[in-house]
Amino acid sequence: MGPVRTLITGASSGLGEGMAREFAARGHDLALVARRGERLEALATELSARPGASQVVTATLDVNDDAAVAEVVPAMAAKLGGLDRMIVNAGIGDGRKVGSGQPEANLRTARTNFVAAIAQCEAAMEIFRAQGSGHLVVITSVAADRGLRGAQTVYAAAKAGLSTFTEGLRSDVHGTGIVVTEIAPGFIRTDLNEGMSMPFGVDAATGVRTMVDAIERRPGHAYTPRWPWSVLGPALRVLPMPLVRALT
C-alpha cells in the first residue's frame, strides 16, 4: 500500500499549513489548496526538498467559489492518483458584534465557515461515494458547543451548524467504507489569532500535532488537545451564561 493521499484546504497558513508539515513528515502524499498561491508554492518547495519527500501538488482556490471547488477537488485527486482523505479546514474568524454596522464581515464569516464548507464536502463525498471509501475530516471548533458573544457570535453559530452537518454526514455513511470525522480544536495559537484572549491555549506545533494524531485515529468526533477541551467543551453546553462569558 502506498502513501495516504490527503487534500487539505486553507493550507497556506495557520492550522492548515501546520497540518501539511505534520502529514508530510508522516509520509503522506499531499494536495494543498488555498487562496494565496505564492505561499502554497513556497510551502510545497520546502516540503518537497525534504529527504524522502512524498508528492506535493498545489492549486490556488477560493473556497467561496462553488464552481471552482467542484472543479479543483477532483483535479487535485487526479494529480495524486486518487484521494484517501480530505480535510475541510479553510475558514476565517473575521466576525463583528451583531448590529455594529458591519454586516458584511459577519455574512462573509458565515458563508466561508459554513456554506463553503458544504461545497467542499460535496466535492469530496462525490469522490468517496464513487470509490466506496474515503476519510472526510471537517475542522469545526470548541466554539460550536455554545453561543458566544461579541465578534465570536457568528463564528460560533457557523461552526455549530457545520458540526451538525458533519454529524448528519456521519450518520448517512454509517456502516460503509466512508469515515467522517469532526475535529474540534480548542485554543491554538497561530499567526492568524495573535493577540486574542485564549485561556488554556497551546502553541501551534503542539495543537497541530494533537489534531493530526486525532485524525489518524479516524474517530467520529475529537476535541484537540484532548485535555482540557474534552471536559470543557461538553461543559460549555450546560454552564450558566455568566460563566460562559467569563471563560470566552
Q: Which of the residues are catalytic?
A: 155
- 137 in Cβ contact with 220 (< 8 Å): no
C-alpha cell at position 45: 518547495
Q: Which residue has the cell 501539511?
A: 20
Measured at the CA of 118, the angle between CA 64 and CA 40, to 5 degrees, comes to 50
The greatest distance separating any two alpha carbons of the chain, rounded to the nearest whole angstrom, comes to 55
d(CA 134, CA 246): 40
Name the amino acid, one letter, at 88: V
Give the length of the chain. Answer: 248
DSSP 8-state code for residue 13: S
Give me the helices (H) in 81-197, please.
103-110, 116-131, 153-172
Q: Which residue in 181, 209, 203 sits closest to 23, CA to CA? A: 209
**What is the Cα–Cα distance from 130 to 121, expressed in whole angstroms?**
14
Instruction: Please tell me the distance from the alpha carbon of residue 111 to that of residue 241, in angstroms, as a whole number.
Output: 27
Q: Which residues pair with 56 in a beta bridge?
A: 30
Beta strands in 64-154 (DSSP E): 85-88, 134-139
